[in-house]
Amino acid sequence: MRKLSGLIFVGLFLLGSALPGQASDDDVKVLKTKAPFADVKQDVSDAIVNRGYVIDYTAKIGGMLARTGKDVGSSKKIYNNAETVQFCSAVLSRKMMEADPADIAFCPFVVFYYERADQLGTVYVGFRELDDDGSDASEAAKKMINKLLEDIIKEVVGGS
């Protein structure tokens, strides 16, 4: 039975990778800037905090990949620097989850910024757009969140 449940899990995982709601290139919104990484990091923080939100967590993705590369058999340097920050909006999150409790999957909101190892001097800033599946109320709330995230990254790169 244990083997069967493992196979079912693998099958569902593989099936899930093709289901709607999964990220595609079209779902990832990215802008770039020539500003130094440290400035972009501070600007992302300011753009979030100045709107009244609290950054809950900063994931140092680039550092983790650099630290663990040798352990997984890779020496390729992907990023010079790479981080994500996560935060939430009580108002927007509540609207979204009141419309559809399953929308908890979209909280917290995440903004990423990175400098590729092979493109020093260019910093990418972006977010994964929330899908537009669900009820009208759910879609409306997710559109407001996508607009918030887009406004943040545009502010960081000087586009608003």
Please write the tens of the pLDDT for every residue from 22-39: 445 679 999 999 999 999
Q: How far apart are CA 135 and CA 149, in angstroms?
A: 21
Q: Residue 125: inside a domain, yes or no?
A: yes
Phi-psi region of 54 (alpha: psi -120 to 50; beta: other; left: phi over 0): beta
The answer to whether residue 89 sits within a structural domain is yes
Cβ(114)–Cβ(79) below 8 Å? yes
Predicted structure pTM score: 0.81
The Cα–Cα gap between 122 and 126 comes to 13
Please report whether residue 83 resides in a domain: yes
Q: Is the pLDDT of residue 12 over 80?
A: no
Residues 75-85: tens digit of each pLDDT: 999 999 999 99
Could you give the percent of the chain with pLDDT greater than 70? 83
Domain of 147? 23-157
Q: Tell whether 4 is covered by a domain.
A: no
Number of structural domains the chain divides into:
1
Give the tens place of pLDDT for each residue, 108-152: 999 999 999 999 999 999 999 998 888 899 999 999 999 999 999
- Look up the CATH number of the domain holding residue 93: 3.30.310.70
> Quick count: other Cβ atoms within 10 Å of Cβ 147?
11
